[in-house]
Chain A
Amino acid sequence: MRGAKSTVIPVLDPGPRTWHLATVSRVFGIGLQQEGIDRVIRFENVGVRYGIGPEVLRDISLHIEQDSFYFLTGASGAGKSSLLKLMYLSLFPSRGYMQVFGEDIARTSRRDLPQLRRRIGVVFQDFRLLSHLSIFDNVALPLRLAGDDEKRTRNNVSELLDWVGLGARLHDSPDTLSGGEQQRVAIARAVISKPSLLLADEPTGNVDDRIAYRLVRLFEELHRSGTVVIVATHNDALVRRFSHPVLVLADSELHVPAVKAKDGA
């Protein structure tokens, strides 16, 4: 486990709560290094088309190594969501070679795909919280799907919701939360199962710059605990404030990532 230093990052909402790395390490204490996997995602000449339409993604070749943190940018309709869908195995390529966690997806049986999906956390732009479930049950869902022990699930979910400042709202409906609070629940749900790969689709789309900055700092904290993070955003100003490499989608093609200097945080 990396990151022995005790970094303190402010919580998304203004207030006294803080994100402690010690908590991150305890809750998400697993990394790809421990599993001996160097390459999390490998795409070779991947193309995607819907039906008989034109290719929305063309000749995508991409290697995502462990310990990576990427921004994925591109204009609306450039194919960011399609690329993320490929990564979280909700879409299969029309052509090309695709490997996730060392598994050749074309050769992976349908029965084995859920095991891979459970290692991926996804934060959706529209949160996709289930309004008929409580906040607690929404966050507990990935653990229950994985068949985790219910007592441990209760402890972990309560701790994580405390951590994101919603410990007092466990049994409320997500509909009663503000947009920012819903986003925190969505993030908690995405990370509760200690994913090896965290994908965030426009997580900063509905928040102001200050909250967006804090959100990316949170993802950095999760990254420091060993999770590979890819954040799709069209907020170029935000991207410039961090030093992480940027994947740029334009005209259905992916441009070579480049490590850039930090613009200032």
Chain B
Amino acid sequence: MAGTDLIPDSEGAGRFLPWVVAVMVFFAALASAAGLALNQATGTWRSDLASTITVEIPPQENAQARLTAVTKALRDTPGIARVRPLQVAEIAKLLQPWLGGGALIDDLPLPHLIDVHLSPEQSVDLVALARQLADIGPDIRIDDHQIWLGKLIRLSRSLQWMMLACLAMICFATCAVVIFGTRAAFTAHLEVVSLLHVMGAQDSYIAKLFLRRAMLMGLKGGLIGLAVTAAALYALSRLAADLEGPLFGNLTLTPLGLLSLAALPLLAALLTAMTAWRTVMRELSRMP
């Protein structure tokens, strides 16, 4: 006779616990996936954008000469790994979403853009570089992406905190459901509990009976929730793949992130088990 057999399968609230846990794990997995993906993306944005700057040379009559001078000045600057002036076609492609692909772009005076990659080993004094480029042309501008990147990262961090708050609320709600479910099961099986109590069962022995049941139900619900989450994330990843943008391309999960999601059913089982344990121990403490 297994210990769990002492508490027969509940026909009441306990029967729905796996499904409630499944829903909770689904939401928790979505929130975790979003948080982890944002965290990964933020890191990528930071490393990508912090290591590059863009130099913009406004269109003028001697634009080509200025481009040559600026390119030379950049290549002579210590700490710059790579300098690549963008071709007109590339600039036109960047403007295409706003101006369309017609002949209009060809007629417009386009600035020259230089994509500059900074060396990770050596820092560049951007203020001195800006001064040096201003000697070539006072309207030449360096865009180091920091303001835009800062806003993006702040937004990302805020979203991650919101995800954490969601996770905390999901945990709280799960605990509340488990407490009510365990109390209902405890009341439904009060006759068995009282008998075990009179026969000399330790409180921990009785609590373990409920803990095992709750853990099994939590694990079952967790696995169901994870399976639904996996399907939902797969569908989302297919949709995101259709969006050809630099931002959405970074919204991926690392193997560690995927492992964290896979651990959610275990965490759900642990949470339900420990909550059931504490609930039963508290109920038993009211008995002599």
Binding site for B on A (CB under 8 A): 88-92, 110-111, 114-120, 122, 128, 130, 132-133, 137, 140-142, 144-146
Does B203 reach chain A (CB closer than 8 Å)? Answer: yes
Name the one of A90, A137, A144, A146 contacting B197, with C-beta atoms under 8 angstroms.
Answer: A90
Task: Please name all residues of chain B whose beta carbon is closer than 8 Å to the beta carbon of A145 when the two chains form the complex.
Answer: 196, 199-201, 205
Does B63 reach chain A (CB closer than 8 Å)? Answer: no
Which of B1-9, B14-22, B139-147, B269-277 has 4 or more CB atoms under 8 Å from chain A?
B1-9
In the assembled complex, the CB of A114 is this many whole angstroms from the nearest CB of chain B, namely 4
Provide the main secondary structure of the chain B interface.
helix
Q: What are 20 inter-chain pairs, A to B, with CB distance below 8 A?
A: A89-B288, A90-B194, A90-B198, A110-B285, A115-B200, A116-B200, A122-B198, A128-B191, A128-B195, A132-B5, A132-B8, A133-B5, A137-B1, A137-B5, A142-B199, A144-B1, A145-B199, A145-B200, A145-B201, A145-B205
Does B192 reach chain A (CB closer than 8 Å)? Answer: yes
Q: Which residue of A lies closest to B285 (CB)?
A: A110
CA distance A122 to B197 in the complex (A): 12
Name the one of A91, A114, A128 contacting B200, with C-beta atoms under 8 angstroms.
Answer: A114
Encode contact with A along B192-228: 1 for CB under 8 Å, 0 otherwise.
1011111111110100000000000000000000000
CA distance A132 to B201 in the complex (A): 19
Are A118 and B198 neighbours in the complex by a CB distance under 8 Å?
Answer: no
Given contacts A90-B197, A128-B195, 11 further A-B contacts (CB under 8 A): A91-B288, A110-B203, A116-B200, A117-B198, A117-B199, A118-B199, A130-B6, A141-B6, A141-B195, A141-B199, A145-B200
Are B200 and A142 neighbours in the complex by a CB distance under 8 Å?
Answer: yes
In the assembled complex, the CB of B6 is this many whole angstroms from the nearest CB of chain A, namely 7
Q: Which residue of B lies closest to A89 (CB)?
A: B288
Q: Which residue of A lies closest to B203 (CB)?
A: A110
In the assembled complex, the CB of A138 is this many whole angstroms from the nearest CB of chain B, namely 10
Task: Please name all residues of chain A whose beta carbon is closer than 8 Å to the beta carbon of B201 when the two chains form the complex.
Answer: 114, 145
In the assembled complex, the CB of B197 is this many whole angstroms from the nearest CB of chain A, namely 7
Task: Give the number of residue pairs across the A-B interface with Cβ within 8 Å.
Answer: 52
Name the one of A92, A118, A133 contacting B1, with C-beta atoms under 8 angstroms.
Answer: A133
CA distance A48 to B197 in the complex (A): 20
CA distance A146 to B288 in the complex (A): 19
Q: Which residue of B lies closest to A126 (CB)?
A: B191
Task: Please name all residues of chain B whose beta carbon is closer than 8 Å to the beta carbon of A117 when the two chains form the complex.
Answer: 197-200
In the assembled complex, the CB of B284 is this many whole angstroms from the nearest CB of chain A, namely 9
Most buried by A among B191, B194, B201: B201
Task: Please name all residues of chain B whose beta carbon is closer than 8 Å to the beta carbon of A88 when the two chains form the complex.
Answer: 198
Task: Please name all residues of chain A whose beta carbon is closer than 8 Å to the beta carbon of B205 when the two chains form the complex.
Answer: 145
9 nearest CB pairs, A to B = A118-B200, A117-B200, A114-B200, A132-B8, A137-B1, A92-B288, A145-B201, A114-B202, A142-B199
In the assembled complex, the CB of A154 is this many whole angstroms from the nearest CB of chain B, namely 11
Encode contact with A along B239-262: 1 for CB under 8 Å, 0 otherwise.
000000000000000000000000
CA distance A92 to B286 in the complex (A): 12
In the assembled complex, the CB of B204 is this many whole angstroms from the nearest CB of chain A, namely 9
Encode contact with A along B4-45: 1 for CB under 8 Å, 0 otherwise.
011010000000000000000000000000000000000000
In the assembled complex, the CB of A15 is this many whole angstroms from the nearest CB of chain B, namely 29
In the assembled complex, the CB of A5 is this many whole angstroms from the nearest CB of chain B, namely 32
Task: Please name all residues of chain B whose beta carbon is closer than 8 Å to the beta carbon of A120 when the two chains form the complex.
Answer: 200
In the assembled complex, the CB of A136 is this many whole angstroms from the nearest CB of chain B, namely 9
Task: Please name all residues of chain A whose beta carbon is closer than 8 Å to the beta carbon of B5 when the two chains form the complex.
Answer: 132-133, 137
Are B1 and A140 neighbours in the complex by a CB distance under 8 Å?
Answer: yes
In the assembled complex, the CB of B3 is this many whole angstroms from the nearest CB of chain A, namely 9
CA distance A53 to B202 in the complex (A): 30
Task: Please name all residues of chain A whose beta carbon is closer than 8 Å to the beta carbon of B197 when the two chains form the complex.
Answer: 90, 117
Task: Please name all residues of chain B whose beta carbon is closer than 8 Å to the beta carbon of A132 when the two chains form the complex.
Answer: 5, 8
CA distance A97 to B196 in the complex (A): 26
Are A146 and B200 neighbours in the complex by a CB distance under 8 Å?
Answer: yes
Q: Which residue of B lies closest to A105 (CB)?
A: B288
In the assembled complex, the CB of A202 is this many whole angstroms from the nearest CB of chain B, namely 16
Q: Which of B87-103 contact A (CB under 8 A)?
A: none
Task: Please name all residues of chain A whose beta carbon is closer than 8 Å to the beta carbon of B288 when the two chains form the complex.
Answer: 89-92
